[in-house]
Structure 1
Amino acid sequence: MNSRRAPTVAVLALPGVNAFDLATAMEVFAKATLPGGGPAYRILVCSPAEIVDAGPVRIVTEHAMERLAEADTIVVPGCQDITAEVPGDVCAALRAALHAGTRIASICTGAFILAAAGLLDGRRATTHWLAADAFRAAFPAVQLDPDVLYVDEGQLLTSAGASAGIDLCLHMVGRDHGAAVAADAARMAVAPLHRDGGQAQFIPRNTVAARGIGQHNKLDDVLAWIEREAHRDLGLGDIAARAAVSARTLNRRFQAETGQSPMQWLTGVRIRHAQQLLESGTDGVEHIGRQVGFGSPANFREQFRRLTGVTPQQYRNTFRRLKVS
């Protein structure tokens, strides 16, 4: 970074930009201040058009795409249509910026734009968990990690959905100016400087609507039964008996229709039930583990952390903070 001036952050506003992602970058970087009180960054909002559609609002921008060349950091917010073709001049500008040494970061589905420009091939990246399957299909050369809040690959950074963009921006402030400036920016954003776990804790686990389930396939009845009976001490034989098939046939059908084994599915249902109780109730963690069907507190904690990336208590604390805010 140039020590003689505040580094420039250019936020790219493409047609159909997500207003929240755009505002996240503007707010975090614009409100970051240096110890002497001066601005930590200069902010530019750059766009190929003077007026940009951002869902229910229209945004008037002041700077053309050419101003991206002035940036020390380019932030690419997500757009509402992840299937929209990224204009060639946008891809070219991002590639030129990367070649020039500019740091480039995406928020949420902005990773689709970086990937379309060829910036993420062979690299680790993340995006909103809901768009993960579409991202993998469109960009198989990218090493997608949908469980984390953000990925820092040095010059290229990507974040998960919505508030994970705040996490990423605060992380960059900390990289640029140190922990004290980042902590002050976090206070201005009324956000934690660091959150436990990743976005895995926000992904719905094994709902009947997942992966096409619920469309009158052969597993509908047994999946609904597992949903009701997951709290019981169920084994593979119990589930196979309910489905009236052999354990081998049951395993084959589950793998084909859910991508999981029957016992993996059962564990996911129990974890989802536990999440609901942790969010809304006051019962102790061990009691909740037994209530949803885990035989031991240790196994409950182990499986919960494996699937969500955090402990049950950390999960409860996260959602208590969300309710307060």
Structure 2
Amino acid sequence: MPVIAVLALDGVPGHQLTGPGVSFGTAVQCHPHVAYEVRYCAGPGFRTTGGPAPFGLDTPWGLEGLEDADTVLLPGHDGFRAEPPPGVADALRAAAGRGSRIGAIGTGTFTLAATGLLDGRRAATGRRYAAELAGRHPRIEVDPEGAVTDSAPFHSAAGVLGGVDLCLRLITLDHGDPVAIETERQIFLQLHDPAGRAASTDQTGAGRTVCRGVSRLGPTIRWMEAHLDHPLTLEDIADHAGLTVRGLTRCFRAETGLPPLQHLLRARIQLAQRLLERGDEPVERIAARTGLGTPANLRHHFQHHTGTSPRTYRTAFRSLVSTLTWADGLPTDAPASRGTGR
């Protein structure tokens, strides 16, 4: 199982410490073939996270927790302009020497830069610190926008959303776009539900979330998802799977928790959500692309499965993204509050 070691140095912003756990944990929860161990490691001198609501960290791991990690994540922290705490630079160099990936979040890039590992490479930090990073480390090509920057095996990004964007990039590299996209959607739906109810890929019974994988039905599931705009029937799906309709229904219930046509409907709603999140297509076009036919049919099923209308969902999702990413877009001369976007 891949090990993600998150190195906590004193004054780390709390959201940058929890962001990796949320990201990789959500990927694991919703994709049974995905496996990660997120390991929190307290660096030398660690006392507490940054404000405005500092908290401690009880973990058995120190720098030795990095020794067998496949990926090391370095969030921001207080004192990032100073030399790294004793042993940190050597531990990071040793991890790089073993072939581990290293990701820096926010001002954690300053600490990684202090090791010399980023010399001659591209890197990113929070926008308000980009010019300072470039001035202190002229051999680094700094992305002024703080976008996720890959310079394998090193990855860096602004600290907005606790480094979730960086974690999603690593998930993409490990498991592809579909897993990362669904993980991102689930994270945002956990943060904000416009209908005031728990959102999920689907709900059955008393709000039980269905987020399972498939095994024998994998090829048929992928075929269905590639033909959502077609009027698929039970017989069509059974023929593709090489099963009788009864056998197909039995397998679907065993492996996904849903009958075939309910699983198909769930996939169509998921596609509608992605199209609403990432484009400006009208509802009429989305209804056709998802195989739901008419705007009225799309609205009916969308409301049933998500608790809100397509228009409200699109507005709420984009408003949430805008609100959560605004802080890191402050001008460089704006005052930086402790623990935000560091």
Matched residue SS, 2:11? coil
Within 5 Å, which residues of 2 pair with 1:198-277? none
Q: Alpha carbons of 1:50 and 1:62: their partners in 2 closer, same or farther (altered >3 Å)?
A: farther
Q: Residue type of the partner of 1:114?
A: L
Specify whether residues 148 and 188 from structure 1 end up closer, same or farther in structure 2 by C-alpha distance, changes over 3 A only: same
- Residues 77 and 149 from structure 1, CA distance in 2 versus in 1: closer, same or farther, beyond 3 angstroms? same
2:125 alignment partner in structure 1: 127
Provide the residue aligned with 1:84 in structure 2.
Answer: 82
Q: CA deviation at 1:164?
A: 7.2
Candidates 134, 137, 144, aligned match of 1:136: 134
Q: How does 1:1-20 map to 2 (within 5 A)?
A: 6-20=1-15
- Equivalent positions of 1:131-210 (< 5 A) are 131-163=129-161, 165-190=163-188
Paired with 1:164 and 1:50, the residues of 2 have a C-alpha distance of 22
State which drifts further: 149-158 or 176-185.
Answer: 176-185
The alignment partner of 1:9 has SS state of strand
The structure-2 alpha-carbon separation of the partners of 1:60 and 1:84, relative to structure 1 and needing over 3 Å to count, comes to: farther
The answer to whether structure 1 residue 33 and structure 2 residue 28 are counterparts is yes
Separation in structure 2 between the aligned mates of residue 188 and residue 40 of structure 1, nearest angstrom: 17
- 1:23 is matched by which residue type in structure 2? T
Once the two structures are overlaid, the 10-residue window that deviates more, 140-149 or 123-132, is 140-149
Alpha-carbon distance between aligned partners in 2 of 1:112 and 1:42, rounded to the nearest angstrom:
26
Contact 2:15 2:162 in 1 (8 A): no
1:99 aligns with 2:97: yes
Matches within 5 A, 1:36-55: 37=32, 40-49=35-44, 52-55=47-50
- Quick one: structure 1 residues 321 and 100, their matched pair in 2 at CA, closer, same or farther if it must change by over 3 Å? closer
Q: Which shows bigger deviation, 109-118 or 155-164?
A: 155-164
SS at match of 2:20: helix
> 1:125: Cα distance to partner?
0.6
Q: Give the distance between the partners of 2:104 and 2:149, measured in 1 at CA.
A: 10
C-alpha displacement of 1:183 = 2.2
Question: 1:29/1:52 Cα in 2 relative to 1: closer, same or farther (>3 Å)?
Answer: farther
What residue is the counterpart of 1:116 in the other structure?
114
Partner of 1:322: 322
Taking a change above 3 Å as real, the CA distance of residues 99 and 321 of structure 1, as seen in their structure-2 partners, is closer
Q: CA shift at 1:31, angstroms?
A: 2.2
Q: For 2:55 and 2:74, locate their aligned partners in 1 and report how far apart those are by CA, in whole Å.
A: 19
3-state SS in 1 of match to 2:129: helix
Q: Distance in 2 between matches of 1:114 and 1:32?
A: 26
Q: For the structure 1 residues 27 and 164, does the alpha-carbon distance in structure 2 shift closer, same or farther, using more than 3 Å as the test? A: closer
Q: For the residues of structure 1 that align with 2:126 and 2:321, how far apart are their CA atoms?
A: 21
| Alpha-carbon distance, 1:44 to partner | 0.6
- The CA deviation at 1:136 is 1.8
Give 1:319 deviation, angstroms. 5.2
Q: Is the 8 A contact 1:129 1:160 kept in 2?
A: yes
State the 1:171 CA deviation. 1.1
**Which stretches in structure 1 are left out of the alignment for 5+ residues?**
1-5, 192-316
Deviation at 1:323, TM superposition (A): 5.0
Q: Is the 8 A contact 2:127 2:146 kept in 1?
A: no
Tell me the TM-score normalised to structure 2 length.
0.52
Aligned AA for 2:143?
D
CA drift at 1:78: 0.6
Q: Helix, strand or coil: the match of 2:106?
A: coil
* Aligned partner of residue 87 in structure 2, secondary structure: helix
User: 1:182 offset after TM fit, Å?
Assistant: 1.4
Distance 1:160 1:143 in 2: 15
Q: CA deviation at 1:324?
A: 9.9
Cα offsets for 1:201-239 (capped at 9, x unmatched): xxxxxxxxxxxxxxxxxxxxxxxxxxxxxxxxxxxxxxx
- Partner amino acid for 1:154? A
How far 1:166 sits from its partner (Å)? 1.2
CA 1:170–1:140: 2 relative to 1, 3 Å: same
d(CA) in 1 for partners of 2:324 and 2:70? 36
Q: Which has the higher contact order (CA 8 A, sep 6+)?
A: 2
Q: CA, structure 1 residues 126+38, in 2 after alignment: closer, same or farther (shift >3 Å)? A: same
How far 1:129 sits from its partner (Å)? 0.8
One-letter amino acid of the structure 1 residue matched with residue 92 of structure 2: L
Stretches (4+) displaced over 6 A: none
Q: What does residue 18 of structure 2 align with?
A: 23
- The residue type paired with residue 9 of structure 1 is I
